[in-house]
Amino acid sequence: MEDKINPFIDAESDDYDFVLNAVSENGSLLEFASDRLKADKTIVMAAIKTTGANLQYADEKLKADKEVVLASSTYSKHVTPGGFKYADDKIKADKEFVLTIIRRNRSDFEYVDQKLKADKNFVINAIDMLNELEFGTCTIVNNLDESLKSDKDVASASVIGCCNAFEFFDDKFRDDFDVVYKAVEYDGNALQSVSEKLKANKYIVLAAINQNPDALKFADDSLKSDRDVIIKAVELKGNNLEFASDKLKADKNIVLAAVKNDGNALEYADKKLMSNKMIIKTALKTNGYGLKLADRQLRADKKIVYAAIQHSPYSFLYAEQKLKADPKMVLAAIKINGHLIKYADEKLKSDLRIKKAAINKLKNQKAHWEYYPPFDDSVNVDTGQISLPLCNCEDCSYMRSWKSRGCPTHLSEDDLINFQEWVGEFGQHYARIKKIKKYKF
């Protein structure tokens, strides 16, 4: 390793004012100060103010000064480096002072005296303190003395505040009901780290799900057939129906609870329930696209289809053809979203009253780029999502749909005639037939 170049000349390294100004700007320059100035408290305090780690260049006496060491410890909820690493060994063994340091920077526990790392009461006090501050305790757990890694009291305290605490303790605690229960109460996903036996324990799994419904996926398969567990899981997160047994996926009450929480859960329900009007209506309240999964008879039900398009207009795509040919139904749909004329029966698309209703709606309808009618195979038919390319026009870079040739400002007269039918593609920026005009963007 090459020697560092000293930026000071001999006289400067011992010049009080010069060095003070230098370390105030760049604390690491303390390394090149004279021994006399490295022992000056004002100089050192100025250096560690920029970065606590600059304490390493200070005189040994100042490394034993609590005021200086405390100043070098960065206060942070996150793990950031400080100067405690370079403190005098006696300070690192001072219980009261170490707790003060850890409160400011929990990562400094790594440099605590080894005897304190093996002190059960001290470690538990430190963990409890950080839990109260909600700072997280993994940095302490990761640096425990080996003698404490098989202690139940320490393990019980550690799982509250450290999601992966089981990695640092004896494996026996993965099968300890008390420790595991505390762990899943703090973080339901801790269920993935416990023994297979406790993954099949109903009380443990319910506690985990209550804290984090996503924990169901880590439960033993036997509990995925348990009605109490599944009803709780789907009430908190409907899509947990995915992990339920086939029998429970066909249970009306279970499925109803799931789709009430999230209509997307309908895709995991037994196909036999797709004709259940109550379940479908409930699902459509939060996910209109559930109409795609509904029984054909329900897709021909006006009330059901109307409920679907109120939440997700483009779900009209999945309505039965007879409704797409029903003038009243199509008009009702157009009042929600003018784009829905595209799904109407071909005869109705040329109906003057319906065309006029669609154009009037589109003139006042905000651009809705995220959910656009699916025109071709490149578009997600289930959601109607489409990524719009930029217009080729260098003047405006107008966002357009795939179907148009450019922005409405620069369409030809012939284009405008055709464009009248597709006016909604540009939201509020619409064209008049056979008229070219400037548009405000």
pLDDT at 2: 54
Domain residue spans in the chain? 288-387, 391-441
Long-range contacts, 237-245 (Cβ 8 Å, 24+): 237/213, 237/261, 237/262, 238/262, 238/263, 238/264, 238/265, 239/264, 239/265, 239/268, 240/213, 240/216, 240/265, 241/265, 241/268, 241/269, 242/268, 243/216, 243/217, 243/219, 244/268
CA angle 58, 62, 68 (to 5 degrees): 100
Both tokens assigned to 306: 């109307």
pLDDT interval class at 356 (50, 70, 90) = confident
The model carries a pTM of 0.71
380: nearest Cα among 321, 314, 291: 314
- What percent of the chain lies above the pLDDT cut of 90? 61
Taking Cα atoms as reference points, which of 11, 43, 15, 39 lies closest to residue 27? 43
The owner of tokens 């009461």 is 121
Residue 422 — very low, low, confident or very high, per pLDDT cuts 50/70/90? very low
Q: What distances in angstroms separate CA 28 from CA 23, 49, 58, one per listed residue? A: 7, 11, 10
Q: Give the confidence band of 41 by pLDDT, cuts at 50, 70, 90.
A: very high
| Six token digits for residue 179 | 């420790």
Query: Quick one: how many helices (H) and strands (E) in the chain?
Result: 26, 0
Secondary structure (H, E, C), 108-151: HHHHCCHHHHCCHHHHHHHHHHHHHHCCCCHHHHCCCCHHHCCC
Residues whose CB is less than 8 angstroms from the CB of residue 394 and which lie 6 or more positions away in sequence, other chains included: none
Q: How confident is the model at residue 425 (pLDDT cuts 50, 70, 90)?
A: very low
Compute the distance between CA of residue 178 and CA of residue 159 in angstroms, rounded to an integer: 11
Q: What is the pLDDT of residues 293-316, one digit of tens each?
A: 999 999 999 999 999 999 888 899
